[in-house]
Structure 1
Amino acid sequence: MVVDVPIGSDTKLIPASYRVDEGLLSELQNHNWTVIAIDNEYITNNSGVIHIGMLQELLVTLATSIKRETGSSSTLIVGYVMKQSREEDFAKRGAFPLWPSKNDLIFVPLSFELPLASQLQEVDLVLHKITDEIINIDPNLSISFPKGISFSLGMSEIIRFVEEHRDFCVIDPFKNIYPLLDRLQIQEILVRLEGLNTEGKPKIRAPCSLKVGNFCGSELQKQLAEANLSFPLIVKPQVACGVADAHNMALIFKIEEFSNLSVPLPAILQEYIDHGSKIFKFYAIGDKIFHAIKNSMPNASHLKCSSGEKPLTFNSLKTLPVATKEQLLQNRVLDSKSLDINLVEEAANFLKELLGLTIFGFDVVVQEASGDHVIVDLNYLPSFKEVPDNEALPAFWDAIKQTYESRKGMAQTLFKASN
């Protein structure tokens, strides 16, 4: 196999797993080629050959070779960990270049099939979607995360490595992400947005909500009254992500519909907000904020007609009941003018400081009756695929580089202070 990798002003062809004789090897090197050999297929005493044990080591070996050849101290190798479908989505948009990006980032996947310690020593930082590596969550321990979370063996090893190497940079710190696994903690975070509101302007807020441990009718009726919640309600599992049923939800129109409800417990009951079937998806990528408008669920009156006498159950990732064209025409259709961009951007900056996250997303709906801006979801490292690549990718790379430099600077300052 031959890989064509441009380095500096030359082009070096790097053959891997390729049988050549010593004469050909010398000829390749004379023409400024770098040879990477798989040890069990090609044996040589030539000191100019880079040896790897398995083909899976090729990408990280290429990355370290490219970094060395660039000779730039600003070049960083970013090892990334996420599920394959997410990796493919980012990669096909050019988000993970092996050749340095405009701000000198090289991206390589970390392989759980190889020893992780040696891979982590070769990369400068790790970008991860830790929730992709969750095996199981005990919902009864959600307030104590990471207690009760079982991660894959590979992710567990990365967590241990980071704990043992406190100055190693991960984007983002695991402890900053754990609150977003729990919808109750998300609610407690969003409630703090109330401090941004001023008299005479649109409000930004969390949805009214209530945590319940069961769906017992008489007890539930009392709890709803105390929380000032009225129907319709969205019922969501308290665990927000990382498990198969985290996105199984229901829309409830009356108390009787809680009987035999299949939404996992404990659950969060949340006010349903009529929002003209439009949702605003916001992405905070470093110091840049982007948003896109998408069609969303219809107003409650349309949903009640379609549900009959049963709760409307759905998976928010797969079977979300989106408004039809006819329903959109019947509603007061919202456009970008209905959104107070400055207010939401202020909220994004507030959340960035509060959460300590480099890249996160949140969904905003504008309540038809009041104009309230309600944040109904908050998540870490979204795909931001609604944002044009020519805007999103430079912001993505800059955010990673800036976070790395900021955290390294803080670590050096602390080190000097301690000495």
Structure 2
Amino acid sequence: MEESMKKFRVGYALAPKKEASFVQDSLVSLGKEKGIDLIKIDTSKPLIDQGPFDCVIHKLYGKDWKNQLEDYSAKDPNVLIIDPPEAIERLHNRISMLEVVKGLEIENKTASFGIPRQIVIYDAKTVAELEIEREGLKFPVIAKPLVADGSAKSHKMSLVFNNDGLNKLKPPIVLQEFVNHGGVIFKVYVVGEYVKCVKRKSLPDVTQEKLGILEDSLSFSQISNLNCIEKMDDKYYKMMKNLEDAEMPPISFIVDIAKGLREAMKLQFFNFDVIRDTSVGNKYLVIDINYFPGYAKMPGYESVLTDFFWDVLNKKEKGSESRNLDSCEKEVRKLVANNGCGEDDVGLPVSPLNREEKENPIQF
């Protein structure tokens, strides 16, 4: 008789909008075919009462949720938490999120990478007294909220063209160097070891001539609207042609950056945005990193996520079996030794697994 398929329970805790985009029927159906059940978590109830779960995926923040995960992990050390809240927290700050990029050591003979110059401003007085040239910046600059927690407020960004535009900003904010990049951004999706790079339309280049006639600042939504207005203009079609013609970054180079970020941040679900500095050509800048992005926008996301779950859960299962066998062998050696049939193992206790091995049975 054919052995029945092993079933895995993957609990998910997501905000309603994220749940609607991510947990689609196509993903649920494909998961079931591989023995993976996606189960919605009720955050108002203890996790221990809803399990057992083989894995928990989430994109919720706050002390209460963090405590829920810690409590559940303590009671069920074999559960996989993807990803640990303390690892995700780095991405809630737009300064700390890019600091990790500067620490990467990747060798490539044809391309280089880095991050844009940026500074953080905490109060209005600093804004009024700011001379951006002294900070190594020049107009235009991108103004972003310091906090990147997924809220609507954290997405309110603007392109600032002069000091009058600066004075309208509400700190705490990050001022980031704007680099002309041909109106094309490369979005790199990471799911464990899987890496997918796609190109998208981005902010148009800003020439010095344009800089002199533009108003104080434009929100990103206004820039998008301007692009829509220009759809009947030759500029719009030129921009779309730029997108079609844009050369993709070397895939091995992008994969190396993704691997370096994954290992440094200890995260499995994230994406990062990359632009190519058109003044250099082979220099790429990482401008943003996001946790648990909109994977549904990634072609074939259902099979990518299903394969990821299947791989990590089966490795966890095999790791657990291996540890159980090892434990049994030690117990046998102990019994044999106590019966006078062994030498080196006499009187040795069976060593329990330490906490780290239980919580992290898989090393990525």
Higher relative contact order (CA 8 A, sep 6+): 2
1:81 aligns with 13
1:108 to 39, 43, 63: 39
Matching residue of 1:271: 177
Of 1, 13, 22, which aligns to 1:90?
Answer: 22
Q: Post-superposition shift, 1:410?
A: 6.7
- Deviation string 1:34-85 (CA, Å, 9 cap, x unpaired) is xxxxxxxxxxxxxxxxxxxxxxxxxxxxxxxxxxxx844x321101110122
The residue that corresponds to 2:343 in the other structure is: none
- CA 1:259–1:163: 2 relative to 1, 3 Å: farther
Q: Distance in 2 between matches of 1:257 and 1:243?
A: 23
The answer to whether the 8 A contact 2:13-2:59 is kept is: yes
Aligned to 2:297: 386
Distance 2:312 2:186 in 1: 26
Is it true that 1:127 corresponds to 2:43 in the alignment?
no
Equivalent in the alignment of 2:106: 196
Partner residue, 1:370 = 280
Counterpart residue identity of residue 244, structure 1 = A
User: How far 1:115 moved relative to its partner?
Assistant: 4.7
- RMSD in angstroms over aligned alpha carbons? 3.4
Once the two structures are superposed, the pairs formed by residues 234-249 of structure 1 within 5 Å of their partners are 234-249=142-157
Distance 1:217 1:82, change over 3 A: closer
Which TM-score applies when normalising by structure 1? 0.67
User: Going by fraction, where is helix more abundant, 1 or 2?
Assistant: 2
Change beyond 3 A, Cα 1:231–1:76: same
Q: Assess if the C-alpha contact under 8 Å between 2:187 and 2:197 holds in 1.
A: yes
Structure 1 residues 324-344: Cα deviation after superposition (integer angstroms, max 9, x where no partner): 553344568253525222211
Within 2, Cα distance between the matches of 1:407 and 1:173? 17
- Between the two proteins, what is the percent identity of the paired residues? 24
- The alignment's TM-score, normalised by the length of structure 2, stands at 0.76
* Cα separation, 2, equivalents of 1:384 and 1:196: 26
Q: What is the CA–CA distance in structure 1 between the aligned matches of 2:314 and 2:135, rounded to whole Å?
A: 45
The answer to whether the 8 Å contact 2:91/2:289 transfers is yes
- 2:160 matched to 1:229? no
- Compute the displacement of 1:92 (Å): 2.7
Shift in Å, 1:234: 0.4
Q: Match of 1:363, as an amino acid? A: D
2:159 corresponds to which of 243, 246, 251:
251
The number of equivalent residue pairs is 321
| Structure-2 separation of matches of 1:158 and 1:340 | 39
Q: Deviations over 1:12-38 (max 9, x none)?
A: xxxxxxxxxxxxxxxxxxxxxxxxxxx
- The answer for the alignment partner of 1:63 in structure 2 is none
Structure 1 unaligned blocks of 5 or more: 1-7, 10-69, 135-149
Q: Is the 8 A contact 1:277 1:328 kept in 2?
A: no
What is residue 23 of structure 1 aligned with on the other side?
none
Aligned with 2:250 (options 295, 320, 340): 340
